[in-house]
């Protein structure tokens, strides 16, 4: 399947909304819009599953990553809760976005608002080979923040 022609189905409740699109020539993600009938107030520290009104058929070996929009995060503290959310190649249901309001102010989502972005990307699949010990590296078992310890 050609990535230039991924099948997309606009659901009835999104008939008047634009399909996801790149908003600039260099954009990596396509904007997803809220396919809601009435405004939704996202209270501080609350989350909501927001429908987009689309279903897609990705080719095998690909995923769609649902990511936050930087402007919503920077200006309003609204982000994608499970960022990035993954739409698997075999999923055929409606793409929805789990938004969370991390600010102290309520945030209003209106029909057609751009709420997230979607990046289509290849994925790798692996098989595990169980071993008794792993190859040593300079980092070793150093965990979170360990690569910056002792450096200016």
Residue 86 marked ligand-binding: yes
Residue 87 marked ligand-binding: yes
Can you tell me the distance from the alpha carbon of 28 to that of 26, in angstroms, rounded to the nearest whole number?
A: 6
Residue 71 marked ligand-binding: yes
Residue 78 marked ligand-binding: no
Residue 69 marked ligand-binding: yes
Residue 103 marked ligand-binding: no
Can you tell me the distance from the alpha carbon of 6 to that of 127, in angstroms, rounded to the nearest whole number?
A: 28
- Binding-site residue numbers are 69-71, 82, 86-88
- Binding-site residue numbers for substrate are 69-71, 82, 86-88
């Amino acid at each position: 399947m050609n990535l230039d022609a991924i099948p997309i189905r606009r659901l009835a409740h999104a008939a008047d909304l634009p399909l996801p699109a790149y908003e600039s020539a260099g954009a990596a993600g396509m904007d997803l819009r809220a396919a809601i009938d009435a405004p939704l107030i996202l209270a501080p520290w609350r989350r909501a599953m927001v429908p987009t009104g689309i279903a897609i058929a990705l080719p095998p070996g690909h995923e769609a990553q649902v990511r936050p929009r930087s402007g919503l995060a920077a200006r309003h503290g609204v982000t994608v809760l499970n960022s990035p959310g993954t739409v698997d190649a075999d999923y055929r249901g409606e793409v929805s976005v789990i938004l969370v309001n991390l600010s102290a102010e309520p945030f209003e989502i209106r029909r057609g608002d751009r709420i997230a972005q979607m990046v289509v990307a290849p994925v790798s699949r692996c098989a595990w080979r169980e071993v008794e010990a792993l190859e040593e590296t300079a980092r070793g078992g150093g965990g979170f923040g360990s690569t910056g310890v002792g450096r200016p």
